[in-house]
Amino acid sequence: MSDTAISKKATSLSGDDNLPQPIRGDRGATILGPRNVPIERENPALLCSPSTDAGTIPNLKFSYAAARNRLAPGGWAREVTARELPVATTLAGVNMRLKPGGIRELHWHREAEWAFMLAGRARITAIDPQGRNFIDDVGVGDLWNFPAGIPHSIQGLEEGCEFLLVFDDGNFSENETFLVSDWFLHTPREILAKNFGVPESAFAGLPKDIEQSMWILSGDIPGPIAGDAVKAPAGAVTGYSYHLSQQKPVKVPGGQVRIVDSSNFPAANTIAAALVEIEPGGMRELHWHPTNDEWQYYIQGQARMSVFTPGKARTFDYQAGDVGYVPFVYGHYIENTGDGPLRYLEVFRSSYFADLSLNQWLGLTTPKLVERHLNFDQATMAALRKDKPILTPGPAPRAEET
């Protein structure tokens, strides 16, 4: 019986009390002390790790369910940064919800903001350094990217919305963005009056202290987009949004993938991503990434990932709402361990998406070299060149192909 099968059996029906136990064959023993069974059931590969796991690899999982959720009149937001997941130094993520009409206050930040719409619809606005403005409505599966320093806003439409934000710095915090109301609060009224050419009384309705800054505020549901558009003397800018839902996926045995990077979404020149969908029983094959760490967000289903570095390996289980992480060039695979589809995002602080497949490497290397290293027979060598129920993303479609 495989380690995976043993782990599933040991953590589901072990003992008279039907509790998961850290037992694999003749190794391990039952738990006698205090325990948290729901968390153990969600993490069978940690409770009863495969025999192939070895050494010490940092924690590579953190769930948004364990993150502090900051509530506001217009919605809420929770974040997973290097404070919650210390290994995640390259990217940070924010899960945000806006009520119908709810507004993420006019703001900007030092980091680029890449976003994936999870549910509902929103209206996004921005301006660029040339004084051109931008407005678009985005729905489920759509993206936007605002480069560092670009001021912008997000507002929920009639059904409200929920989305994932990814920032190109692991130490980013949603609580430290540049808010327009915060700036007004920290500027003398006479300076505001002088700047805008209005009397000081015009600012009587501003927040009185820092605790009253807007951040996520309630608002009226926007009407048709044409009614919100403002004609800018310099004209409009396009390209801050990308409708990934309209991109044709690359279909392969075991699933499909949509890849987006600066080649087909030029505004996202610091973040590349792949939306991966794996069928039950399928897996994202053994591979690694040669450009940067991988930050993951699990949207649907259940997964198991083993990560390899010289002499060490560690396995993790993931569910919807979890964040995963793979350090630079660590080998890994991702297996769909659920009964339904697995959907997740692979995100990188890079201008382009790149991966290296172990299958492809061995299949394109001189056969005698591979045979000498691994003692493969002819049947196994031939199998390296056949299709398998795995997922192997190729390069991102060019802009003209989407």
CATH number for 342: 2.60.120.10
Residues 231 and 272 in one domain: no
DSSP state of 39: H
* 3-class SS of residue 79: strand
Q: Which of 115, 394, 399 is nearest to 276 (CA)?
A: 394
pLDDT (tens, 9 = 90+) of the chain, 402 residues, equals 355 544 444 444 444 468 999 999 999 999 999 999 999 999 999 999 999 999 999 999 999 999 999 999 999 999 999 999 999 999 999 999 999 999 999 999 999 999 999 999 999 999 999 999 999 999 999 999 999 999 999 999 999 999 999 999 999 999 889 999 999 989 999 999 999 999 999 999 887 765 566 899 999 999 999 999 999 999 999 999 999 989 999 998 889 999 999 999 999 999 999 999 999 999 999 999 999 999 999 999 999 999 999 999 999 999 999 999 999 999 999 999 999 999 999 999 999 999 999 988 998 888 889 888 998 888 888 877 665 544 544 455 544 444
Q: How far is CA 293 from CA 23, 85, 88, 169, 347, in A?
A: 33, 13, 8, 12, 8
Domain identity same for 206 and 80: yes
- Annotated catalytic residues are 346
Residues 199 and 323 in one domain: no
Distance of CA 204 to CAs 73, 208, 230, Å? Answer: 21, 9, 26
Neighbours of 87 (CB within 10 A): 17
Give Cα separations from 173 to 1, 102, 110, 177, 296 (angstroms).
Answer: 45, 20, 11, 7, 18
379 within a domain of the structure (yes/no): no
Element of type H or E holding 137: strand 133-138
Amino acid at 357: S
Q: Are residues 10 and 83 in the same domain?
A: no
Domain boundary among 223, 242, 261: 242
Q: Please tell me whether residues 84 and 131 are part of one structural domain.
A: yes
* CB contact at 8 A, 85 and 294: no
3-state secondary structure of 313: strand
Residue 261 lies in a domain: yes
| 193 & 325 share domain | no
* Residue 7 falls inside a structural domain: yes
Residues contacting residue 22 through CB under 8 Å, at least 6 positions apart: 10, 28, 29, 30, 31, 47, 48
Residue 322 host element (H or E)? strand 322-326
Residues 113 and 84 in one domain: yes
From the CB of residue 119, how many other CB atoms can be counted at a distance below 10 Å?
12
Where among 242, 271, 305 does a domain terminate? 242
**283-288/390-391 β-pairing:** parallel
Segment 241-283, tens digit of pLDDT: 999 989 999 998 889 999 999 999 999 999 999 999 999 999 9
Helix (H, G, I), strand (E, B) or coil at 381: helix
Element (H, E) at 266: none
In the chain, the number of structural domains is 3
Domain co-membership, 129 together with 276: no
d(CA 10, CA 21) in angstroms, rounded, equals 6
Q: Any idea of the CA torsion for 210, 215, 217, 219, to the nearest 10 degrees?
A: 120
**Domain endpoint, select from 242, 264, 295:** 242
Residues 280 and 323 in one domain: yes
- Tally of residues, the chain: 402
The DSSP bridge partners found for residue 317 are 304
Residue 382, H or E segment: helix 378-383
Q: Look at residue 170 and tell me if it is in a domain.
A: yes
- The verdict on 82 and 177 lying in the same domain is yes
For the whole model, what pTM was predicted? Answer: 0.91
Cβ contacts of 315 within 8 Å, gap of 6 or more: 45, 46, 49, 50, 53, 304, 305, 306, 307
SS3 399: helix
Q: Is residue 152 part of a domain?
A: yes
Range of the domain at 283: 248-356+391-401
Task: Report yes or no on 138 lying in a domain.
Answer: yes
Q: In this structure, what token pair is assigned to residue 210?
A: 């820092």
143 and 27 together in one domain: no
Answer whether residue 60 is part of any domain.
no
Q: Does 126 reside within a domain?
A: yes
CA distance 272 to 114: 9
Query: 300 and 344, same structural domain?
Result: yes
